Amino acid sequence: MSDQKKNGLKIYEENMKLLLLCGCLVTCTVSQYTFDDSNGLGRRFDGIGGLSGGGATSKLLPGYPEHLRDQILDYLFKPNFGASLHILKVEIGGGSMSGVGSEASHIYHDGDENYQRGYEWWMMKEAKKRNPKIKLYGLPWVFSGWVGNGTNSPYTYPERTVEYIVKWIKGAKEYHGLDIDYIGEWNEQNYNTTYLKMLRQGLDKNNFEHIQIVAADDFQAEFETNLARDMLLDLELSSAVNFFGVHYSSTQSNLGSIMWGKQLWASEDYSSFNDVKGARCWARILNQNYVNGLMTSTISWNLIAAYYEGMPYQRCGLMTANSPWSGHYDVNPTIWMTAHTTQFTEPGWIYLSHHSGVGHLVGGGSYVALTSPDKEHLTIVIETIDYADSKCLHEALPQFTVVNQTITFKLEGSFKSITRLHTWFSMLGNSEQKNFTVTFSYNGVIEPDDNGTFTLEAGINQIYTLSTVDTADKGNYPTPPDPKPFPLPYMDNFNDVVEHQEPYFVAPMSGSFEVITSPGSSNKVLRQMPILKPVDWCETENFTLALIGNISWTDIYVETSFSIDMPNATEGVFLAQRINSGGCYTVGGQGFLFFVFPKNATYEFWGDSRRATLLGFGPAPSLKANGFNKLGLKVKGGFAEGYVNGQLVFGVRMPEKPESGFPAFGTAGFGRADFDYIMITES
């Protein structure tokens, strides 16, 4: 037994003594459950995963110091260490808002094609480096304007959309050595049968027969029934789609999709704050998505909460890494709830059948059992999560009760000869349990008697894994540095940024910004790339915007130097302060935006991102039509001042709201602009 397991066993025994003293394990229910394969097995297990994207949820992770970044990635992907994920799902970026931010596209317009943009290639390679068996899954939220070709739908020109997706898959292989396993259609939008069939044809034509299609990556409401019906009437469509992918189904599946026989996935789920309450939600649905809904894969949105504080859906990841400037990160309890399944199974294992290894506990909670294809290994996962404080964010959860219970298990069939089961334990205590929490603690070995029988005392809000697999471990690194605020003053001239990448701390909300070498020089600039309006996923306006810094900032000065002296340029650029919302909520949010338009040497000062509240406008005579212009925006003591090339062009009293927010910069429309640096100081 390893030292880690010995220490875990000691901690577990001490904790159980404490619980007994507290009277937490008073037995209320006695029940027996049989694990038997004599009458066949259930469905194939396809794995547990995490989703990087939807959008820009991993944005800040690449900016961590390398040794800390490696630790974080180990907690996510390294086998027998942390979450040990089986599937990594990533966003296929389109250059516009998709949830928490915008991700880069591989094609923006005719003649443009680049497979170095963005960080999802890097994320997939890091996952594969740690676990070569991990499955890769791509799904678009936003499509670049090249796909829409003047429309706001990827289905108007389906052959173009197929080409876009196939090129992304080819780029993954040719430039990064990555083999994609699964591809989705369009996140949480109506499915299109013509496109699905053409996508299958396009994949096969390009020798990607092995790639399987998940549809429709949408909320359950009606799509499952309609898609199952359409597949029943169209055998080509049925052959094209391999998996039903459902989002936030509250552990339930539609009868039509179950009867059709396709594997069912919770292809996006969880989406909850990753404290103990969120961990209860995650532990429960990892079991009950199969117990109630026959879903053979569950994928967490999101993989890691690596985006600024103040963005939507704070800390809705399996762990948190949103402070790269300090190096601080949090290994949240959701990591260890994942480990209860992932460290003891692999995709391709098989669930036992309901009532012979899968079901609900009489005293509340659930159990699932999985076996390896050769039936040499058996894993049992038990959860007794109570109703109180365990509801996931998007879940319709009916009331239920969980009580302390004595559970007797009996192994039959191929499993009767098992003599040892390694036991791992977690408890996610509520206020009545004095918030007592233990995560993924080794609990020694259970030895069934000659009849294959053994007994377990299970309290409320507990998770047990019992398995013949003996390789599991609770990985650990030294405590990371303490968190610190975003540093001020801040200056980035982008010269240290790898070409075609975003600066680590620049977080696009709309549009896409990448570093290029300025034509005719060795100087690097940050360029806004899309010149066509993307096919949007959430509401946008005709502008691009990137945030940086801290949402709590009030009185600061922000400065940049910009040029729109190039083909396909935007008509103007802006600096902003006190932007108080991000992601899909950027549009409609508040803030103060200072626009300049070089061709007619004018400025505008607005009080919101929709440009509905005009606070000032007029000439900016120092603004040059060609070359670089220096732009500054100062906010202090209720006043705002705008500067162009060092000259004051306006000074106005600001509205009282918003009181704080991010600084930002961007363009007045989808068009090119180069930024030479970004500087932020206290005003």
pLDDT in tens, 267-282: 999 999 999 999 999 9
In the predicted structure, residue 22 carries a pLDDT above the cut 50: no
- CA–CA distance, 227 with 192 (Å, rounded to integer): 10
Q: Would you say 81 and 120 are in contact if contact means Cβ atoms under 8 Å apart? A: no
**Highest averaged pLDDT of the listed ranges 178-182, 189-193, 385-389:** 178-182
d(CA 268, CA 316): 12
Report the alpha-carbon distance of residue 637 to residue 313 in Å, rounded: 31
Distance CA 135, CA 179 (A): 9
* H helix or E strand, kind and range, residue 8: helix 3-21
- Selection from 505, 494, 499, 511 nearest residue 667 by Cα: 511
**Assigned token pair, 75:** 């907690």
pLDDT score at 431: 87
Q: Can you list the positions of beta strands (E) in 398-531?
A: 405-411, 421-428, 437-446, 453-458, 462-467, 490-492, 507-510, 513-517, 524-528
| pLDDT at residue 646, rounded to an integer | 97
Is a pLDDT exceeding 60 seen at residue 7? no
282, 289, 274: which is closest to 338 by C-alpha?
282
| Tens-digit pLDDT profile for residues 498-540 | 999 999 999 999 999 999 998 778 899 999 999 999 999 988 7
For residue 14, report the phi and psi dihedrals to the nearest 5 degrees.
-65, -40
pLDDT at residue 8, rounded to an integer: 46
Q: What is the residue type of 453?
A: T
Residues whose CB falls within 8 Å of the CB of residue 534, separated by 6 or more in sequence, listed in order: 94, 95, 96, 105, 142, 143, 144, 145, 148, 540, 670
Residue 455's beta-bridge partner residues? 408
Compute the distance between CA of residue 163 and CA of residue 203 in angstroms, rounded to an integer: 9
Predicted pLDDT of residue 159? 98
DSSP structural state of residue 587: T
**DSSP helix/strand/coil, 448:** coil
Is residue 24's pLDDT more than 50? Answer: no
3-state secondary structure of 386: coil
Quote the CA–CA distance of 48 and 27 in Å, as a whole number: 33
Q: What pLDDT, on a 0 to 100 scale, did the predictor assign at position 18?
A: 36
Local confidence band at 188 (pLDDT 50, 70, 90 cut-offs): very high
pLDDT band with cut points at 50, 70 and 90 for residue 20? very low
Q: What's the rounded mean pLDDT across residues 176-202? A: 97
**CA dist., res. 679 & res. 683, Å (int):** 12
As a whole number of angstroms, the distance between CA 355 and CA 345 comes to 20
- Which amino acid appears at position 225 of this protein? T
DSSP state, residue 672: B
**The pair of three-digit structure tokens given for residue 53, joined into one six-digit string:** 């994207």
Tokens standing for residue 562: 């910009």
- Kindly state the percentage of the chain with pLDDT values over 70: 95
CA–CA distance, 444 with 423 (Å, rounded to integer): 6
The residues pairing with 300 across neighbouring beta strands, listed in sequence order, are: 50, 269
Structure confidence at residue 222 (pLDDT): 61
How confident is the model over 35-64, as a mean pLDDT?
97
What pLDDT sits at residue 589?
Answer: 87
510 backbone dihedrals φ, ψ, rounded to 5° = -140, 145
Dist. CA 16–CA 246, nearest whole Å: 39
Phi, psi for 203 (deg, rounded to 5): -65, -45
Q: Which of 134, 52, 137 is nearest to 98 (CA)?
A: 52
| 107, 146 Cβ separation under 8 angstroms | yes
Burial of 14 (C-beta count, 10 Å sphere; 0-12/13-18/19+): exposed
Report how far residue 649's alpha carbon sits from residue 499's, in angstroms, rounded to the nearest whole number.
Answer: 34
CA distance 551 to 233: 52
pLDDT reported for residue 260:
74
- The residues carrying an active-site annotation are 188, 268
- Other beta carbons within 10 Å of 648: 12
- 569 — phi, psi (to 5°)? -80, 155
**Strands (E) located in 106-242:** 135-140, 182-184, 212-219
Query: Which residue from 180, 158, 161, 159 is spatially nearest to 169, judged by alpha carbons?
Result: 180
| The pair of three-digit structure tokens given for residue 533, joined into one six-digit string | 């309006």
Is the predicted pLDDT of residue 14 greater than 70, yes or no? no
What is residue 11's predicted lDDT score, i.e. its pLDDT?
A: 43
Angstrom CA distances, 340 to 293, 383, 469, stand at: 20, 10, 12
pLDDT tens digits, one per residue of 216-253: 999 865 666 788 889 989 999 999 999 999 999 999 98
**For the chain, percent of residues with pLDDT exceeding 90:** 88
DSSP 638-665: TEEEEEETTEEEEEEEPPS-----EEEE
Residue 174: φ, ψ to 5°:
-75, -35
Mean residue pLDDT of the chain comes to 94
Give the CB-side neighbour count of residue 276, counting CA atoms within 13 A.
20
